[in-house]
Amino acid sequence: MRKSASPPNSTPPKPPSPLPPGPLPPIHAANMEIAHVADENLLFLCKSADLAPGSILKVEREAGALAVYNLEGEFFATDDRCTHGLASLSNGDIVDGEIECTMHFGTFDIKTGEPRQSPCSVAIKTYKVEVRGDDVFAVIG
């Protein structure tokens, strides 16, 4: 009979599990960075307290910046670039639920992205927004 070449106790002991036995603890806001890493479809935009009602925030990313809006406490996100030109919509003004581009004053519906005022005629892309605890995310991809 052939014997194994390695000694019987050569495997190092396993380290103890960092989690206590039983059900996993709930995810809290402090752990949202971990949740963000785990879910590649979520893009962290901002803390909800950092974007006051009626405000716009530009969020840079490799695939193109997003404009994040707070409309009376509800958050929305669109592409930041105006479809009519090279203007950044986050520099614009919110007027009655529409974003007014500063370049030629065309407007888009913030919730749907549909163009509302000429010369804009092509919709801007909108993103579903999720608020988890104090964190605001866009669903991308």
Q: Which residues bind ligand FES (CB under 6 A)?
A: 82, 84-85, 87, 101, 103-104, 106, 119-120
Minimum distance from residue 14 beta carbon to ligand FES (Å): 60
Nearer to ligand FES, 88 or 112 (CB): 88
Minimum distance from residue 116 beta carbon to ligand FES (Å): 11
Mention every residue, 6+ apart, whose C-beta is less than 8 A from residue 79: 64, 65, 66, 67, 89, 124, 125
Nearer to ligand FES, 57 or 82 (CB): 82
Minimum distance from residue 31 beta carbon to ligand FES (Å): 40
Residue closest to ligand FES when measured from CB atoms: 85
